[in-house]
Amino acid sequence: MDSKSAEPGEYEVICAPDITGLIAHEAFGHGVEMDMFVKGRAKGAEYMGKQVSSSITTMHDGAKAANHVSSYLFDDEGTLGSDTTIIQDGILKNGISDLLSALKLGTAPTGNGKRQSFERKAYARMTNTFFAPGTDSYEDMLASIRYGYQIEGLYSGMEDPKNWGIQCIALLGREIVDGKLTGNLISPVVMTGFVPELLQSISMVSEKVELSGGGFCGKGYKEFVKTSNGGPYIKAKVRLG
Amino acid sequence: MIEKIKEILANHKDISGYKIKETTIHSNELFFVKKNVDMDRAKRVHHYNLTVYVDFTEDGMNYKGSSNTDIHPTMNDTEIESAIRETAFAAKFVKNPYYPLVQPAESQQASALSAFAKESFPYWMNEITKAIYKNDIYEKGGINSCEIFLDKIETRIVNSEGVDVTDSGYRCMIEFITTWKEEGEEIELYRRIDCSDFDEELFAEEVKNMITICRERAIATSTPALKTASVILTREAVKDFFSYYYSKSNAASVYNQSSTWKVGDQLQGKEVKGDRITMTLDPFMKNSTDSESFDSEGFPLKPVKLIEDGELKRYAADTRYAYYLGVVPTGNIGNIIIESGSKTIEELKKEPYLMTTAFSDFTVDTMTGDFCGEIRLATYFDGRTTTPVTGGSVTGNINELHHELYLSRERSKDNNFEGPAMIMLKNVTVAGIAKD
């Protein structure tokens, strides 16, 4: 209730695990759903094997990659769930696919064919999507920021797989001055940017991964399925509004 | 099946009431990549959803517990009996204050007949496809992919008080991605159309609009760092903006204390510089997928004015929350009509503005009034020149801004919304990305 509006601008921020997960989900989760490759809708297809993120970042998706709400033995088409490394040390490595997109692209299906219910068609969808842990302590990350915010409380997000825009809305930003939380709050927090710039700006990654999420990931504005997202605390440079 | 469920329910003396909702959906679906059909599907599904109510008293308070379950068409008597027993057991743990169920009405107004009823599904899928691709004629851009869903939905609601109502309608959903490529990267944008009637002009024009918007985005420059600006909202954002007033004037929001609005409140404040809002809910709006004769409880619907000249006149309330607040129920109505404002679009554009055309996702927090969105395309007028811009975001709070908003005289319609085509808000925060 005491929060103020954010002064628009670029800031150094620490993203809490739920916001790290939101970035993973919107930035390179939807963008590597390989039915998007089939349609020519994913810029990621041109960047396979290329650097898309800071070299201290690794990102996974998979029913087998974590024990959470989208863990299963096999997907809605019968393909065994897997653990797909999407980004390895900053290099874009793999996409995630349902049967049809894998067939069309000549790749192995990754067990990501999911449908909203028996009434709907299967699409290539995310499962448990997260950034892997790093080596920095949260205390060191906090101490490294002269002026910025700690962003937390996932509200919503939207992907832009073709043009690599990103929109993440968080409930809260905690002001950081000279490495300490001041107790001042901003809300809501609208974080926007160009995906590679945002991911390249990740300079510190904490040691512990946390996942959260109970569902409601849509393909556009429909086909809602259960997914989880997460990661460690990350330090990055973002534009807030 | 309904009679069978009723017979089994009659044996459960611990159940105080019930509601059965029967839904049949007949659907055709087409999935396109570029202009080629990638997949076609058809379905006919039948759902029975049963809600059971259990009245009980605890510490002198009367409660109505409820729980619901799906009764599948293939279930036998033993399976239905088991499902009902488990649902009634669960209902006993739900401690909602007592409320009455909907009573039968003498009559209900029928929904308007859709053109979709006049021909077969394959005929209409063909007509919709032709309309959608009519303006996909450009060399540098067009439709990347498209999904078309056409559903016929038949609904029957029966309850223990004697309600037995039926209705049928159509739901057409068209989702498409348009692209445009100039010298740089190819640009894409998403659009979804929902409707209940065939409108060739709407489909064709909307595709043309989206291709035009893509072309503009392809040549757009970065949004300037304005800090604040007069922002003109257009298209879907206008509809999303008024979702705040719709939510806040709902009795459930008031009862749950997520709205503090009271009947008689001047919602935009006592000193309003711009236009005052007038909002009506109309359950019989043409070409809306939310038009229906009765709500999900079987309550018969009719148009109702909630806000007039900025003053809250009454709450929108289903039977339960109307009983809780002691007001007359309106039923749940999904169609919103907003009266036009005082200025033409030309008049709104006389001073510098940032006019938004497409957001990544325009979000309105219906509890706090906060709104925000990343700009995919906007037009910036600095008082001399007009420039297409992209990137950055707009943020604001409706409570802090609606004492001075201007609604266009021109109108637009988008499925369950009919109202001014544009809204101008003053002093909206704009996080631009241009370096200068």
Residues A222, A227, A228, A229, CA torsion sign: negative
Q: Which residues pair with B233 in a beta bridge?
A: B423
Give the number of other Cβ atoms within 10 Å of residue B45's Cβ: 14
Q: Given a cut of 80, is residue B207 above it in pLDDT?
A: yes
pLDDT of residue A4: 82
pLDDT band at A5 (very low <50, low <70, confident <90, very high): confident
pLDDT band at A214 (very low <50, low <70, confident <90, very high): low
Return the exposure string of B304-331: e unless at least 16 CB atoms fall within 10 Å of the residue's CB, then b.
Answer: bebbeebebbbbbbbbbbbbbbebebbb
Render pLDDT for B129-176 as a digit per residue (tens, 0 to 9).
999 999 999 999 999 999 999 999 999 999 999 999 999 999 999 999
**What distance in Å separates the CA atoms of residue B256 and residue B263, rounded to the nearest whole number?**
16
Q: Supply the mean pLDDT for chain B.
A: 94
Contacts of B363-367 spanning 24+ positions with Cβ under 8 A: B363/A155, B363/A156, B363/A169, B363/B240, B364/B240, B364/B241, B364/B243, B364/B244, B364/B398, B365/A155, B365/A188, B366/B243, B366/B244, B366/B246, B366/B247, B366/B248, B366/B253, B367/B247, B367/B253, B367/B258, B367/B259
DSSP calls for B161-209: TS-EEEEEEEEEEEEEEEEE-SSSS-EEEEEEEEESS--HHHHHHHHHH
Distance of CA A31 to the CA centre of its chain: 10
Q: Please give the torsion angle defined by the CA atoms of residues B72, B76, B80 and B82, in that order, rounded to the nearest 10 degrees.
A: -120
Q: What is the mean pLDDT of residues A25-36?
A: 90
CA triple A133-A22-A190, angle to 5 deg: 125
Residue pair B308/B281 in contact (Cβ under 8 Å)? The answer is no
Residues of B in contact with A5 (CB under 8 A): 395, 397, 429
Q: Given a cut of 60, is residue B436 above it in pLDDT?
A: no
**What is the pTM for the complete model shown?**
0.92
Render pLDDT for B268-286 as a digit per residue (tens, 0 to 9).
998 999 999 999 999 999 9
- Choose among B225, B365, B374: nearest Cβ to A165: B374
Percent composition of chain B: helix, strand, coil (DSSP 3-state, to 5): 20, 40, 35
% of chain B with per-residue pLDDT over 70? 99
CB contact under 8 A, B363 and A222: no
Question: To which H or E segment does residue B7 belong?
Answer: helix B2-10
**What distance in Å separates the CA atoms of residue B240 and residue B248, rounded to the nearest whole number?**
13
* B367 shares contact with chain A (CB less than 8 Å): no
* A189 shares contact with chain B (CB less than 8 Å): no
**What distance in Å separates the CA atoms of residue A239 and residue B301, rounded to the nearest whole number?**
47
Backbone φ, ψ for residue A78 (5° rounding) = 90, 0
Strand locations in A159-209 (E): 165-177, 180-186, 189-194, 204-205
* B374 shares contact with chain A (CB less than 8 Å): yes
Render pLDDT for A159-212 as a digit per residue (tens, 0 to 9).
787 888 888 889 899 999 999 999 999 988 888 888 888 999 999 999 999 999
Residue pair B210/B191 in contact (Cβ under 8 Å)? The answer is yes
Q: Given a cut of 90, is residue B184 above it in pLDDT?
A: no
CA triple B33-B217-A191, angle to 5 deg: 95
Residue pair B405/B423 in contact (Cβ under 8 Å)? The answer is yes
pLDDT of residue B435: 59
How crowded is the C-beta side of B185, counted as CA atoms within 13 Å?
A: 14
Return the exposure string of B20-39: e unless at least 16 CB atoms fall within 10 Å of the residue's CB, then b.
Answer: bbbeebbbbbbbbbeeeebe
Render pLDDT for B213-255 as a digit per residue (tens, 0 to 9).
999 999 999 999 888 999 999 999 999 999 999 999 999 999 9
Distance of CA A153 to the CA centre of its chain: 14
**What distance in Å separates the CA atoms of residue B216 and residue B200, rounded to the nearest whole number?**
24
Q: Which residues pair with B22 in a beta bridge?
A: B48, B156
Residues of A in contact with B376 (CB under 8 A): 160, 165
Angle between helices B200-218 and B121-133 (to 10 degrees): 30
Render pLDDT for A63-90 as a digit per residue (tens, 0 to 9).
999 999 999 999 999 999 999 999 999 9
Lowest mean pLDDT among A90-99, B103-112, B169-178, B343-352: B103-112
Nearest-by-CA chain A residue for B143: A39
Residue pair B163/A137 in contact (Cβ under 8 Å)? The answer is no
- Choose among A43, A192, A220: nearest Cβ to B393: A192
Q: What is the DSSP letter of B224?
A: P
pLDDT band at A154 (very low <50, low <70, confident <90, very high): confident
CB contact under 8 A, A167 and B361: yes
pLDDT of residue B434: 66
Residue type, A77: E
Q: Nearest C-alpha of chain A: how many angstroms from B334? A: 18
- Choose among A119, A158, A188: nearest Cβ to B370: A188
Lowest mean pLDDT among A107-111, A177-181, A217-221: A217-221
Lookup: tokens for A192: 């926007």
